Structure 1
């Protein structure tokens, strides 16, 4: 004759309770109806969060599909501009005498503007840290910018920038890769700057 096995005592799954109880059913993980309500609410909240997370992910994917090449170029440009400001953090303005310790807003200034030479908009020789006044109000202050750029990168590279007419149209996959690569470089530079500051 087989004897029915007595169920073993369990601990209630509710974190605030954790009372020991003997379950009436094998799947039971709560000690009382009040704890059962708490567990059901926790499960519902978990499902709601999971659903909201899936919904946000779907919206992100749909938004990504709607982006134009210009949108991707703008995002890549913002990341590279940040990289240039970090790269040149120890330098002052390329177009005037403001030191690196200047308390105003720093920009990334293009030697050849994006409007005049869109094919050079992501070229790092063409991009340097500049104060907001020179970049925004003096259109880069080119008369001072050029000699300082020659001193920084050399006359051959500056002449190459000035003569380059190789019109390249960057496609969306290239812009996405560019953004990802420079976002990673920014994180590394920021970590290095923080280590040096500590």
Structure 2
């Protein structure tokens, strides 16, 4: 024995041009016909698009920045810092800090290699003395080639500076504001270097 279904109440079509009264055939039906459904979908998409343009790019950037985690801010700052290091060393004509071989600047074969790694010494991740252009081979596959890196580093910045880096155990806590400042500073430095050589 089947249970009789309740008669459905008439609704008004949500299409602003139609507004006809209809009895829904399905649960959640809001339009009287497929044509009204398509017209409503187009109108809603256009409203959404217009509202995005009204917000403006600056507002969207502010909203995106508000959703970023501290880790994402660290990655942004590290990316800007590493780019500066690569540009600085390329313009100076430096070879790989550890192997002494010429670097392939045309491809994607150059890293900004840290003498004291970011994992072992995160407080030195943004220290320009601690980071130099290095081949990906040495940085990634030879674990930074630390012994040869130290030899190259002594030639480049001097023994006193290398020993100062090795003994530096100062704790540095980077706030999100610090990381924003670092990112902006290194992007500006990179632009300045490129502008001078253009």
Large movers: runs of 4+ above 4 Å: 48-51, 100-104
1:113 matches 2:117? yes
Q: In the TM superposition, what is the alpha-carbon distance from 1:188 to its structure 2 partner?
A: 1.0
SS of the equivalent of 1:86 reads helix
Cα shift readout 1:72-122 (whole Å, capped 9, x = no counterpart): 111011001000001100111001132145654111000000000000000
In the TM superposition, 1:91-106 aligns within 5 A as: 91-100=94-103, 103-104=106-107, 105-106=109-110
Cα shift readout 1:121-168 (whole Å, capped 9, x = no counterpart): 000000000011111111111111001101111111111111111111
Q: In the TM superposition, what is the alpha-carbon distance from 1:51 to its structure 2 partner?
A: 5.0
What's 2:73 paired with?
72
What's 1:62 paired with?
63
With 100-109 and 153-162 compared, the bigger mean Cα shift is at: 100-109
TM-score, normalised via structure 1 length: 0.69
Q: In the TM superposition, what is the alpha-carbon distance from 1:56 to its structure 2 partner?
A: 4.1
SS of the equivalent of 1:130 reads strand
Structure 1's unaligned 5+ residue stretches are: 1-47
What's 2:151 paired with?
147
Structure 2's unaligned 5+ residue stretches are: 1-48
What's 1:159 paired with?
163
In the TM superposition, 1:112-191 aligns within 5 A as: 112-191=116-195
1:102–1:66 CA distance, 2 compared to 1 (3 A): closer
Aligned residues: 148
Q: In the TM superposition, what is the alpha-carbon distance from 1:57 to its structure 2 partner?
A: 3.6
With 61-70 and 172-181 compared, the bigger mean Cα shift is at: 61-70
Cα shift readout 1:167-196 (whole Å, capped 9, x = no counterpart): 1111111110111111111111112222xx
SS of the equivalent of 1:176 reads helix
CA RMSD of aligned residues (A): 2.0
Instruction: Determine the C-alpha separation between the residues in 1 that align with 2:88 and 2:50.
Output: 40
Instruction: Determine the C-alpha separation between the residues in 2 that align with 1:108 and 1:134.
Output: 11
Instruction: Determine the C-alpha separation between the residues in 2 that align with 1:70 and 1:96.
Output: 32
In the TM superposition, 1:14-25 aligns within 5 A as: none
TM-score, normalised via structure 2 length: 0.69
